[in-house]
Amino acid sequence: ALTYRAGHHSTSDDSTKYRPVDEIEHWRKERDPVSRFRKWIDGKGWWTNAAESELRSEIRKK
């Protein structure tokens, strides 16, 4: 799987020194693997907003 480290390597690193801020934001907003997977399973009909709400509610109870 193709991934992208959106954050810095460490607290002393500033990745904006060697990567454009718009590149970082693009990957955070458009290429986030969790969001993309969520859209994909939703498109397949395998997941819904109702199912997510129910799951989150169950998790909060624990």
Max Cα–Cα distance, the chain, nearest Å: 44
**Which residue of the set 5, 31, 38, 56 is catalytic?**
5
**Which residue of the set 4, 8, 9, 56 is catalytic?**
9
8 A C-beta contact, residue 42 and residue 48: yes
For this structure, is 4 an active site residue? no
Angle ∠(59,2,25) on CA atoms, nearest 5: 75
Catalytic site positions: 5, 9, 18
